[in-house]
Amino acid sequence: MRNDPPREKSPERLSFTRTVFVTVVAIIVSWTVTSICLFVLPLDPAYTEQFAWPTLTIATIVPFLVAIPVTIVLQRGRLKLERAMRELADVHAELERRSRIDPLTGILNRDAFLKQVNQLRVEGTNGAMLMIDIDHFKMINDQYGHMAGDEALRGFAGALSQAVQGRELIGRLGGEEFGAFVPCEDMETAHQAAERLRLAVNRMIFTPRPGILRRVTASIGVAGGTPADTLSELMRRADLSLYEAKAAGRDRVIVHAAA
């Protein structure tokens, strides 16, 4: 399963160009208003000529002194708002990701997995459902503890994740039970995909304690169907195949006879 790419963040810095632009505009407006006042108001021409340049000088200095700090304050406010909006978007994205991901294994959780499988089937995608169990998982917990069991689950999910191809999906359904969906038109393709996953689990390295290497295997039940079949029926048939795989000695793939 692919991780979402990191969000690119725009540089957080004040715009010198914007500050200069606002300052120039403020000076132009101040000059215009001042000029209108000097030449439109009924003043003595002598007074107008005498006070024109001092007034225009003030009309230049005041906007300059005011526009720059005001622009900086406004830009800082804008940057804070943009930063807050980005942080809010990141939090929303993280919450959305967590709603789909199993926190222990990092793969799709049950709801997200079944939702994506349903979506593929609604789109008309034929495929097979795989029900996958870690063999003798209870023995791992009992012998090495639950922390070792969690490590086994993480390694198991990692092995499956690296082995899936194309549009294949995997998810944790609960406990030591995992599911996979293989888009395909024939059961031979589904069988080959299941064997690929089983062999990937066989190759995983699991050390429940320092210096102890324990082999991990998987039993896999496979059931095929068309988009017309209900997902619950597809999972029920895959479950039957999984029970057959366990009864036959584990570490094997069983394809449902009706498929």
Active site residues: 176
**Which H/E stretch holds residue 129?**
strand 127-134
Report which DSSP code applies to 175: T
**Do residues 108 and 169 make contact, with C-beta atoms less than 8 angstroms apart?**
yes
Give the whole-angstrom CA distance, residue 93 versus residue 20: 37
Reference 204, options 84, 71, 105, 93; nearest CA is: 105
Give the 3-state secondary structure percentages of the chain, helix then strand then coil, rounded to 5.
60, 15, 25
**What's the order of all strands across the beta sheet hosting 177-183?**
169-174, 177-183, 127-134, 218-225, 253-255
Handedness of CA 64, 17, 79, 30 (dihedral sign): positive
Distances (CA, A) of 185 to 33, 80, 129, 227, 238: 79, 54, 12, 11, 17
Nearest alpha-carbon partner for 12 in 88, 79, 77: 79
Which residues are bridge partners to 224 per DSSP?
128
- Give the CA distances from residue 143 to residues 1, 36, 171, 246, in Å, rounded to whole numbers and listed in that order: 31, 93, 26, 21
